[in-house]
Amino acid sequence: MDDLGRWAAERAPELLARAEAEAVAELKAALLRAATAERGAAAAAAAPRVEPAPAVTEPAEPAPTAGGVGGPPPAAEPLEAPVGDALWAYCVARDDAALAGAGVDAVGVHPGSELEWNREGGLAVLCSPVPLAEFGEEPLRRNLNDLPWLERTARAHEAVIAGAFERSAVVPLRLCTLFAAADGARRMLAEQHDELAGALDALSGREEWSVKLIVDPDALAAGLREPGQEPTEPGTGAAYLLLRREERRLREAVADRAAGLAEDVHARLQERAVDARVRPAQNRELAGYEGEMVLNGAYLVERDQADGLRALVAELEARHRPVGARIELGGPFPPYSFVPEPE
């Protein structure tokens, strides 16, 4: 599977869950059907409910009528692209020494645009100018239905947030959080100051890790099958019924065993975490794994506990590998999944 397919399975649903619902409705439905509900999951990760700026494009003038009332419609003429810039916002941080004097080492969603912190009331929101010809209301709707464009933009959005996260606690903002001008960005900081400051307090010094537990059902079944119960071809009708009954019993036992493994791994990881989220399993074909994903978890961990988390994951995988289980650890990430919901 190519990188685009993997990104769609891993990241698209979560990012779309944070995007403006009406602007990405069609794409969201298509991706969720393809990749299942994941870190839409995830996504539930939502950043604070920052409303995007009002539309910054000028409404198109109605086309003139040719031939008077009832006359034939004129040939369609291309609409002029909107001119000017808006501001694309990435994340919020505290306006302190960690942000002073240096920019984030990443390229924004529109290459060549300079990243800048807009400050208000002890907080700062990281933005970059984007051309309305590409990011205005109508162009944005079209582009959000272009999966390569969405992938490229989402990767750049996340890269900027990751760069800021290396220097300071951040509240990640939804994809497509746009402001008409810097005044709008600063006004958002003022109006949501307490909510954003509380989120930064909750996330300071912490990072997100993902853990996926994947099992091999055949290996689990082999360990649960009693000696002499190897599958055989049924002879009589009674033997066939017995075989079907044993297969059903074994499937239920495998499912119970897999659920038990997931509960054990999740419980142990929670001991190391400040908070945890369990997401739906990723689509197997799009994510490119073999077996059954029985745990897809996100864990908020103190930065000084990261080594302990890695050691625990290695211990759990060594314990469960003989029964056909493996654990995939990812991170650290900015805490997308743990931004506190507004009251």
- What residue ranges do the domains of the chain occupy? 47-55+81-204, 207-338
Q: What is the per-residue pLDDT for 114?
A: 87
Q: For residues 169 and 61, which has the higher predicted lDDT (pLDDT)?
A: 169
Pairing of strands 85-94, 178-179: antiparallel
pLDDT score at 165: 92
pLDDT band at 242 (very low <50, low <70, confident <90, very high): low
Q: Name the pTM for this structure.
A: 0.67
Tell me the percentage of the chain whose pLDDT exceeds 70: 65
Q: Tell me what the mean pLDDT of segment 131-142 comes to.
A: 90
Q: Provide the Cα torsion 329, 334, 340, 341; round to 10°.
A: -90
Question: Does the structure show a pLDDT above 70 at 8?
Answer: no
Instruction: Report how far residue 42's alpha carbon sits from residue 297's, in angstroms, rounded to the nearest whole number.
Output: 9
Distance set, CA 266 to CA 64, 111, 187, 287, 297 (Å): 64, 41, 41, 21, 8
Task: Please state the three-class secondary structure of 122-180 as a single string.
Answer: CEEEEEEEEEHHHHCHHHHHHHCCCHHHHHHHHHHHHHHHHHHHCCCCCEECCCCCEEC
CA atoms within 13 A on the CB side of 42: 30
- Least confident stretch, 8-17, 110-119, 241-250, 259-268: 8-17
**For residue 23, what pLDDT is reported?**
37
Say which residue the tokens 């942000």 belong to: 99
Tens of pLDDT, residue by residue over 34-64, are 332 333 333 333 333 333 333 333 333 333 3
